[in-house]
Every structure is written in C-alpha cells, then in structure tokens.
Amino acid sequence: MKVMLLGMPGAGKGTQAQFLMDRYRIPQISTGDMLRAAIKAGTPLGNEARRYMDRGELVPDHVVIELVKQRVREADCANGYIIDGFPRTIPQARALQEADLDFDFVIEFRIDDDEVLRRLTGRRVHPPSGRTYHVVYNPPKVRGKDDVTGEDLVQRADDAEPTILRRITTYHAQTRPLVDYYVERSKRGPPRYVSIEATGPVERVRDAMFAALGGQ
Ligand code: AP5
C-alpha cells in the first residue's frame, strides 16, 4: 500500500498516519520530521532548512525532493509507505512522477483556518516516536508526558501563532493547487483521490478514512 497524505498544517496527517502504519505495517515518511531531525543533528541541510521553517515558509524543492528519493529506496519501504507532507508544490509533484514513485491513494484531510489555529497552538509532540497530542482534544494520560514512554512532550518551534498564520498562507498559495492537480490526475487512473472531512473526533476521521479506502 502506497499512500500520500495532503492537507493544511494541523489537518491531522501525522495523527492519522499512525493508524495507517498500524494497519498496513508500512513506514510513515514525514518530510517535516526528517527536516526537524536534520536540524537537531546540526547538519548543513538542517541549518539551511531551519531558516525557512522558523518563518513558516517552505524549504526549497531540491532539498526535500532529494530527501524523499533517498528515503523510499530504504528496505522498510519495500511493501509500501505513507508519505506525509510531500509533495507540497507542483514542482515536487512533478519530481515524484519523474522518479516513477507511484501511489494507490492520495488522501486529503479538509479543515478550515480557524481550526488549524486551535489545533496547532494546543499541540504537544513526542519527537522520538512522532506521537502527537492536543492539550484539549487529545490529551495525554499524564499532563506533559508521552503515554507509552512517560517521556516529556514538547511544543514545536513553528507552532507559535505568528508562524502558524504564515504556514496557513503558504499552504493556500503553494500547496492547495495540488488538490486540483491530483483530482485531475485521478480521472486518468491511479492514484485514487479521497477527500475526508477532518473536523470532529480523531476516531471519526480515522473511520471515515478507512471506509474511503474501501476496506483495503
Ligand atoms: P510538517 O511537519 O509537515 O508540518 P505541517 O504540514 O504544517 O503539518 P503538521 O505536522 O503541523 O500537522 P498534521 O497535519 O500532521 O497534524 P497533526 O496530526 O500533528 O512541516 C513543517 C515545516 O517543514 C513546513 O512548514 C516547511 O517549512 C517544512 N516542510 C515540510 N515538508 C516540506 C516539503 N515537502 N517542502 C517544503 N518544505 C517542507 O495534528 C495537529 C494537532 O491537532 C495535534 O495536536 C492533534 O492531536 C490534533 N488533532 C488531530 N486530529 C484531530 C481531530 N480530528 N480533532 C481534534 N484535534 C485533532
């Protein structure tokens, strides 16, 4: 199973990716997580990426395209993958096609701008596992601690309100055109395009997603 997740910042891509990973036993490839790992490791790529991410802007296409191409060649991707947060521009989508990386499904999660702000200001993450919580909507069992390991949860640097607003603007300008791109492509064959109303409880969104995947 090869799946691509599309949607605004905070639409729930990372949250729903966990359910897909559990069901299909395939890895999640999150370009955001990969870039944050590079920042933490202090690599030249990470230092370049940080300048853009802290401003709520997209990292240059050539940087992320190369990251994804290398990652999908790794052994754990042999049976499929979930790509979360890529492509984010039309040139990135074209690069995927040119690299012959195919997908069974493109899943779009739809929410509005106000909900993005509510979700991201309350988000807390456990960076080693990628598990994501929300102080109101999806709280951990113990405040500030990961449910599985008991380790500290953190707030992402780009979840400050001014940066969130910038990310929303960036999404509408550069990523939203991918919806039309993939809807049009799906009329000519795979990948199938699935659009999910992503407001409401996490489990309701999960059930709608699996129903749309047709029990696969
Ligand atoms: P990235 O890390 O990909 O961030 P994003 O797309 O902005 O998405 P998020 O991770 O913020 O949200 P999500 O949809 O995964 O939501 P989540 O499940 O966490 O990218 C960060 C930056 O990296 C970019 O700004 C850019 O600079 C750079 N970058 C990354 N990829 C790039 C690319 N391809 N090209 C160029 N630059 C790139 O949920 C959010 C919150 O809501 C959580 O608190 C969660 O608990 C809660 N929640 C989830 N579902 C629900 C629900 N149904 N109801 C209530 N709350 C919910």
pTM score, two decimals?
0.94
Closest C-alpha residue for ligand 1 atom 7:
9
Domain boundaries, the chain: 2-26+79-212
Ligand 1 contact via 193 beta carbon (within 6 Å): no
Q: Which two tokens stand for residue 100?
A: 């012959």
Q: What is the per-residue pLDDT across 175-195, written as a single tens digit (0 to 9) for each?
A: 999 999 999 999 999 999 999
- Mean pLDDT in residue range 79-103: 94
Share of the chain above pLDDT 90, in %: 92
Closest C-alpha residue for ligand 1 atom 48:
12
- Mean pLDDT in residue range 32-59: 94
User: Hey, what's the torsion of the CAs at 165, 207, 134, 35, to 10 degrees?
Assistant: -60
Q: Mind spelling out the 3-state secondary structure of the chain? A: CEEEEEECCCCCHHHHHHHHHHHHCCCEEEHHHHHHHHHHHCCHHHHHHHHHHCCCCCCCHHHHHHHHHHHHCCHHHCCCEEEECCCCCHHHHHHHHHCCCCCCEEEEEECCHHHHHHHHHCEEEECCCCEEEECCCECCCCCCECCCCCCECECCHHHCHHHHHHHHHHHHHHHCHHHHHHHHHHCCCCCEEEEEECCCCHHHHHHHHHHHCCCC
The mean-pLDDT minimum among 81-90, 125-134, 155-164, 173-182 falls in 125-134
Is residue 89's pLDDT more than 70?
yes
Q: What is the pLDDT of residue 129?
A: 86
CATH match of 2-26+79-212 with 3.40.640.10: no
pLDDT-derived band at 215 (thresholds 50, 70, 90) equals: low
Distance 33 CA to ligand 1 centre (A): 10
Which one from 124, 131, 167, 206 is the annotated catalytic residue?
167
Q: Which two tokens stand for residue 86?
A: 């890529």
pLDDT-derived band at 134 (thresholds 50, 70, 90) equals: very high
Ligand 1 contact via 35 beta carbon (within 6 Å): yes
Closest C-alpha residue for ligand 1 atom 49:
12
Ligand 1 contact via 71 beta carbon (within 6 Å): no
In the annotation, is 124 catalytic?
no
pLDDT-derived band at 128 (thresholds 50, 70, 90) equals: confident
Q: What is the pLDDT of residue 100?
A: 87
Distance 176 CA to ligand 1 centre (A): 15
